[in-house]
Structure 1
């Protein structure tokens, strides 16, 4: 994840779900958990993506984003 004030390497790791509301992914920066993602399908197209929430005490607030597959890779898309 890279912005004007943030430059970190994060990875999304699949996790076993405890229940249907548990996240499908954990977002990690090294050993530190900075967020989670839940698998969803777009209402209009049915295309799969992950709804992601990233947070850290250094952030002014949580970042809500979509993790989508693009051309064999992934893109993290957010808006404010």
Structure 2
């Protein structure tokens, strides 16, 4: 597991933070989707900041139910042209952090395709 970013939950259920990858190391914002097209549509959209200062779509996130049925977590798919393949991650409590509104973006290397 590797922490590749940090997000702070805002009062409106959006998140602001940073993503730290070789191909992108800057601020990000994750915004709730107001009207989902269907049950499988993302719950959030993830945006980055381009060199010209404008935001660009860099991924999506879904609220998932834990396999034991006890609670939920947020699963992210980060994908933009500079990446050779999508990066899948989850949000979890940041190390050495007691604030439940500060979450780490945690990447796990896939078992296959190495």
SS class of match (1:68): strand
RMSD: 1.7
1:49-64 correspondence to structure 2 within 5 Å: 49-64=73-88
Q: Does the 8 Å CA contact 1:48/1:68 hold for their aligned counterparts?
A: no
- Cα distance, 1:69 vs structure 2: 5.0
Give the corresponding residue for 1:26: 45
Runs of 4+ in 1 over 6 A off after TM superposition: none
Give the corresponding residue for 1:47: 71
Give the corresponding residue for 1:7: 25
Distance 2:93 2:64 in 1: 13
Unaligned 5+ runs, structure 2: 1-18, 50-54, 110-114
Q: Which structure would you say has the larger RCO, counting Cα contacts within 8 Å and 6 or more residues apart? A: 2
The alignment covers a number of residue pairs equal to 79
Cα gap change, 1:12 to 1:67, in 2 (>3 Å): same
- Structure whose CA Rg is larger: 2
Unaligned 5+ runs, structure 1: none
